[in-house]
Amino acid sequence: MRGSVGNSGKKKTAVGRLFRLFRPGRPDKPARVATAQIIVSKFKRFLDWFRQPPYRKVKISSAILVAALFLYLLYQAVALWRNMGDPRNRAFWQWATGDTAVRDQLVTVQRETCPGAPFFLPTDGFIGLLYNDPRGPYSARNPHQGIDIFSNSAPGVTPVYAAYDGYITREDGWRSALIQRIPDDPLQPGRAIWLYYTHMAGQAGNSFINAAFPPGTREKFVEQGTLLGYTGDYNGNSPRTIWVHLHFSIVLDDGHGRYLNELEFANTVDPSPYLGMNVNYACAEDTAVCTPGCVIRNP
């Protein structure tokens, strides 16, 4: 009943008791009692309330839940703070939020080979995801197998060129990808390697590949600089939308003239020495320019 407010008539629920613990102190409390003592005593009363029935189990499980949530949020906050301290992540954020002019400053154009390097960059853009990159959607266990060069354009606009002389193959079902066999690895003569170019189609699967390479193309020779197609945002049947880009990777040969599975990191090679640019996540450079070698970044 609403009228029965006397102590004897009060319904002593666990929540009610908790609430009363933190109500303002009574006016007759001695003024000399230090605030710290009041806090300690209230905390003790809170612990007593916590340990005692009723609802002991509910109270304990709620506390565990709150602690877990707190730890999770703390972990996320620390991860975000660390991420934003990394210039590569700041550049990624700039690309994600900036307008065309801001993005333009992040674009690398390297149509000539860097000094001493055999390949050139197959398309202009922001090299946002690097080789060996553990950032999402990749991980330290399963890092990025190539480089993602993001286009400052709509799908189907930014050209993709052959990075080196070699033989183009396009498998029957490939809407967005080409693979190019280099019979003699210019940096490790005697072995064949393959250059894999993908995401050259629109979201709906409309291909942006040069009509000279229809599905079923086998071993068609092209020179370095030949137009292969245009960058796109095709991501197969995945519901995850992606930015317009070219994924470019160097894939090992099985020793019998076939390329290995390009999705396996172990089957790929660091493109840095081939491009003459530091495009390995472990390298110390923050922007991709012609550089002599990879200085390993501190972890």
Per-residue interface string for the shown chain with Zn ion, residues 111-150, x marking contact by CB under 5 A: -------------------------------------x--
Q: Which is nearer to Zn ion, 135 or 247 (CB)?
A: 247
CA angle 124, 203, 160 (to 5 degrees): 25
Q: Which residue is nearest to Zn ion (CB)?
A: 247
* CA gap 225, 102 in Å, rounded: 28
Applying the rule CB under 5 A, the residues between 146 and 165 that interact with Zn ion are 148
Any contact of residue 247 with Zn ion (CB under 5 A)?
yes
Helices and strands per DSSP (H, E), number in the chain: 6, 10
| Residue 10 contacts residue 16 (beta carbons within 8 Å) | yes
Give the binding range for Zn ion (CB under 5 A) out of 72-80, 182-190, 242-250, 269-277. Answer: 242-250
Nearest distance in Å: CB 284, Zn ion: 22
Residues in contact with Zn ion, counted by CB under 5 A, come to a total of 2
Q: Which is nearer to Zn ion, 181 or 247 (CB)?
A: 247
| Residue 210 contacts residue 225 (beta carbons within 8 Å) | no
Phi-psi region of 57 (alpha: psi -120 to 50; beta: other; left: phi over 0): alpha
Give the binding range for Zn ion (CB under 5 A) out of 86-94, 157-165, 216-224, 245-253. Answer: 245-253
Nearest distance in Å: CB 220, Zn ion: 24
SS (H, E, C) 186-247: CCCCCCCEEEEEECCECCCCCECECCCCCCCCCCEEECCCCEEEECECCCCCCCCCCCCEEE
Instruction: Please count the residues of the chain.
Output: 299
Any contact of residue 199 with Zn ion (CB under 5 A)?
no
Q: Which is nearer to Zn ion, 148 or 233 (CB)?
A: 148
| Residue 217 contacts residue 170 (beta carbons within 8 Å) | yes
Q: Which is nearer to Zn ion, 31 or 140 (CB)?
A: 140
Q: Which residues bind Zn ion (CB under 5 A)?
A: 148, 247
